[in-house]
A and B are shown apart, each in its own frame.
Chain A
Amino acid sequence: MSASAEAAPAGAAADAMVRVRGARKTFNVGTPEEVRPMQGIDLDIPAGQFVIVLGGNGSGKSTLLNGLAGTFRLDEGTIEIDGRDVTRWPEHRRAALVGRVFQNPFSGTAPMMTIAENFSLAAKRGRSRGLGWALSSSFRDELRDRVRGLRMGLEDRIDTAIGALSGGQRQALTLLMATWIEPRLLLLDEHTAALDPKSADQVIALTDEIVSSRRLTTLMVTHAMQQAVNLGDRILMMHRGNVLHDVSGPTKRRLRVDDLLARFEDVRRRELLDEGAAALLARAYV
């Protein structure tokens, strides 16, 4: 467990794919809706590590992913990806390094465009787009091959508008698109939460296959404890904009769903205590 800013975990620092230092962010500053989803986060992720991010609503787990993707600028702190300081890079520039799958299956694909056209866009992720034809016959052949690997029967439908497909199919395709060019960092933001259980299992199996076969550095947010236990090399548990628990190695492998639930219960109890104390103080002094 390393939550200290000055001493990064030994060994990890040298080949860290992702390095976050003192990341802070406040949204809606000065309004009643003010939230602080990042309160000085330090994080090192070695190349090839598959990290599961857990946490309740408003714990800051999605904000962590969006911060890495560049959806917003940090108030304080720095982010390095693959040795490059990307703190000030806008979202579309970071896309050269980062592949993403969103929670909403509709977010990751352009619905009016065909499967083939969507993939032609993914094949140019982070690269300059010129006036060459977007679709060549060799690209279509390669696409058919790769889509066949999904075993969803979509290889014969690559000229179908992607909006006609189911959520599970779209999410599987988005995952394939995000990894078409190998990303230095793959961000999966609850990408199975909006799917029916069967589709969710399919997409999770595909995720595991892609991430472990290609050893992609990955952050995956999930609500499903079973996924967290079965997948990945490391678990981050977020709470109120901080990393509360950071479990990896043999401890992570021994971890069971019950252990995770116990830790969540622990968090909840502490929160109740805080609220109870606040209510007591309010009664006494206000």
Chain B
Amino acid sequence: MNLLLGALTLGFILSLVGLGVWVSFRIFKVADITVDGSLTFGAAITAALVVVHGVNPLAATLAGMLGGMLAGTVTGLLQTRFRIDPLLSGILVMTALYSVNLRVMGRSNVPFLGKPSLQTWCEELGRSLLGAPTVDLFGWPVAAGDLAVVILAGLAALLVGAVLWWFFRTDLGTAMRASGDNAQMIRALGADVERYRILGLALSNGLVALGGSLLAQYQGFADAQMGIGMVVWGLASVIIGEALTGAPSLGFSIVGTVMGSVFFRELVAIALGFGLNPNDLKLVTAAFVFAALVLPSLLGRGRVQEVRP
């Protein structure tokens, strides 16, 4: 049970990464690999500020998110002002961020080691609200702190999802969606497509960095390697979400991404419980995304043949 609860928390936190990837992958139709760097960037900034400089965890988390937005802005500038291929732009910024992250942290791993973080705040809040160190959840003893963390992580995912849903229904957000759907059309209607792309990638990587910052606080350390393969995680969340909901609308697409992230995390927890080697996790994830990308068209072709007499 604790394992599944942990996976749920992780799923909620990483759904922010999923939503960030959803913005770049589904709105702008690019696989933005900046994510691998900006996730660590958010974590590194928060860890360095909290551990080294003793900054308030909430302010440090926001600073991490702003860092991600800055990284996204740079990628956006490379793609638009300098006309560099979107994939290459992401690779350049991700690579540059690796050094930047080491600079920010001063070493490759920064543990929080009992310093106040959002994680410790949540645990304290849970203990004081519930008045006991453990609670009984459907017959399982669960730490009150863990329960508070999972609820607040869920609320964070809900809040971010709601904000995205609102944003992409405003005049600005609608125009941003159009700039990914038909750039020629929205340019003819007076939108500066390049500016929207920069703004969108800043938003995307801001969310990813927020996810990275929360992840570091949850696991208790920031690490220079923690971002590796995260864009594929995000893609997996988006794709599972679409399979789960059918993504008929914007709202379903957003909810689906959160569900996809949680669902995948639970699957991984169960697989690890059954003895999957953690070292194989990224291979399995990549294979899974490959299958999810290819299978629908294969199945679709099969179905067309079946329908014909």
Q: Is the CB of B172 within 8 A of A126?
A: no
B85 an interface residue at 8 Å Cβ cutoff?
no
Interchain CB contact (< 8 A) of A92 among B173, B181, B182, B187: B187
Q: Is the CB of A69 within 8 A of B188?
A: yes
Interchain CB contact (< 8 A) of B190 among A109, A113, A127, A133: A127
Cα A121 to Cα B171 in complex, Å, equals 7
Q: Which residues of A contact B190 (CB under 8 A)?
A: 92-93, 95-96, 124-127
Interchain CB contact (< 8 A) of A124 among B175, B184, B193: B175
Contacts A133-B170, A134-B171 given: A110-B191 contact, CB under 8 Å? no
Question: 1/0 contact trace for B119-144 toward A, CB 8 Å?
Answer: 00000000000000000000000000
Interchain CB contact (< 8 A) of B174 among A91, A102, A121, A125: A121
Cα A130 to Cα B166 in complex, Å, equals 12
Cα A131 to Cα B170 in complex, Å, equals 5
Interface size on B (CB < 8 Å)? 22
Q: Which residues of A contact B172 (CB under 8 A)?
A: 129-131
Q: Is the CB of B177 within 8 A of A91?
A: no
Interchain CB contact (< 8 A) of B189 among A106, A113, A124, A133: A124
Question: 1/0 contact trace for A105-129 toward B, CB 8 Å?
Answer: 0111111110001101110111101
Q: Which residues of A contact B152 (CB under 8 A)?
A: none
Q: Is the CB of A108 within 8 A of B170?
A: no
A132 an interface residue at 8 Å Cβ cutoff?
yes
Contacts A112-B181, A134-B169 given: A120-B188 contact, CB under 8 Å? no
Q: Which residues of A contact B181 (CB under 8 A)?
A: 110-113
A135 an interface residue at 8 Å Cβ cutoff?
yes
B178 an interface residue at 8 Å Cβ cutoff?
yes
Contacts A92-B193, A131-B172 given: A110-B178 contact, CB under 8 Å? yes
B185 an interface residue at 8 Å Cβ cutoff?
yes
Interchain CB contact (< 8 A) of B182 among A96, A111, A122, A131: A111
Q: Tell me if B's interface is mostly helix, strand, loop or mixed.
A: helix
Cα A127 to Cα B175 in complex, Å, equals 12
Cα A122 to Cα B174 in complex, Å, equals 11
- Which residue of chain A is the closest to B171 with respect to CB atoms? A129
Q: Which residues of A contact B169 (CB under 8 A)?
A: 133-135
Cα A118 to Cα B186 in complex, Å, equals 9
Question: 1/0 contact trace for B236-278 toward A, CB 8 Å?
Answer: 0000000000000000000000000000000000000000000
Q: Is the CB of B192 within 8 A of A121?
A: no
- Which residue of chain A is the closest to B196 with respect to CB atoms? A129
Q: Tell me if A's interface is mostly helix, strand, loop or mixed.
A: loop
Cα A132 to Cα B175 in complex, Å, equals 12
A234 an interface residue at 8 Å Cβ cutoff?
no
Q: Which residues of A contact B187 (CB under 8 A)?
A: 91-92, 95
Q: Which residues of B contact A110 (CB under 8 A)?
A: 177-178, 181-182, 185-186
Q: Which residues of B contact A69 (CB under 8 A)?
A: 188
Q: Which residues of B contact A126 (CB under 8 A)?
A: 189-190
Q: Which residues of B contact A127 (CB under 8 A)?
A: 190
Contacts A107-B182, A107-B184 given: A125-B177 contact, CB under 8 Å? no
Q: Which residues of A contact B189 (CB under 8 A)?
A: 95, 121-122, 124-126, 177
B232 → A minimal CB distance (Å): 24
A100 an interface residue at 8 Å Cβ cutoff?
yes
Q: Which residues of B contact A121 (CB under 8 A)?
A: 174-175, 178, 185-186, 189, 191
Question: 1/0 contact trace for B155-178 toward A, CB 8 Å?
Answer: 000000000000101111111011
Other than A92-B191, A126-B189, give 11 A-B pairs with Cβ distance below 8 A.
A92-B190, A92-B192, A95-B190, A107-B185, A110-B186, A120-B174, A121-B175, A121-B178, A121-B185, A121-B191, A126-B190
For this complex, 26 residue pairs linking A to B, each with C-beta atoms less than 8 Å apart, are: A69-B188, A90-B192, A91-B188, A92-B190, A95-B187, A95-B188, A102-B188, A106-B182, A108-B185, A110-B177, A111-B181, A112-B177, A117-B177, A121-B178, A121-B185, A121-B191, A122-B189, A124-B171, A126-B190, A129-B171, A130-B170, A130-B172, A132-B170, A133-B171, A134-B169, A134-B171
